[in-house]
Structure 1
Amino acid sequence: METTVTQKVFIENADIEWQEMAKGVRRKIMAYDERLMVVKVEFESGGIGTLHQHYHTQITHIESGVFEVEIGGEKKILKAGDAFYIPPNVMHGAVCIEAGVLIDVFSPMREDFIAAKEI
């Protein structure tokens, strides 16, 4: 199996640098190809994932922490072990209540994330 920088077979967390996104929010692009992307997002308590929308399908697993998640105008408090699904083009965001980490999965991959990383 051929591998590239973006398509490693084994992904080690320590090898990937954090990208600062906003006050109290940073991310690691863990792995991707043109169809799929996994991103780790770390939030300090009070960190905000601003309301936004995109054409990608997104599923997010809450690895740790507590978050108020808003999807399509509906809000719910979710904690470690929970997950949520965001259909394409639906407005969504999150506020971190207790510091934690989200694992985002996107299909297709987020080209805008790669472009931002290269700047």
Structure 2
Amino acid sequence: MFKKLIQATVAASLMATPMIAGAAEAQRREVTTTTVKHRPNGTVVQKTTVRRAPTYRTWRQGQRFDRRYAQNYRVVDYRQYRRAKLYAPGRGQQWVRSGRDAVLISGNGNILRVISRVF
């Protein structure tokens, strides 16, 4: 009985951990500002919530590419950057720009190659 209780407690804590981490991450992305407006008939307080842009990532080979986290994202024509060691992508692949890096992604979104400081 005691062993089952411990197993249930461990299972519950493992299930709750991602939810707690997700709530903390969402809280970091939101900033609440309070603005006070004065009018002739009294003071009015208005609260607004401003969401921050997602943080940019440093890409690594084998990761899943998500363009929401890419700074200055755009598809790149490799012929214009041959001096920067960009080569013709294979079928279903494309070069994209993320900040100053060139990232080769496959059709399913996996990162095949990252070349730093191309742009």
Normalised by the size of structure 2, how large is the TM-score? 0.26
Normalised by the size of structure 1, how large is the TM-score? 0.26
Query: Which protein has the bigger helix share?
Result: 2
> Larger radius of gyration, structure 1 or 2?
2
Tell me: higher relative CO, structure 1 or 2? Use CA pairs within 8 A at least 6 residues apart: 1
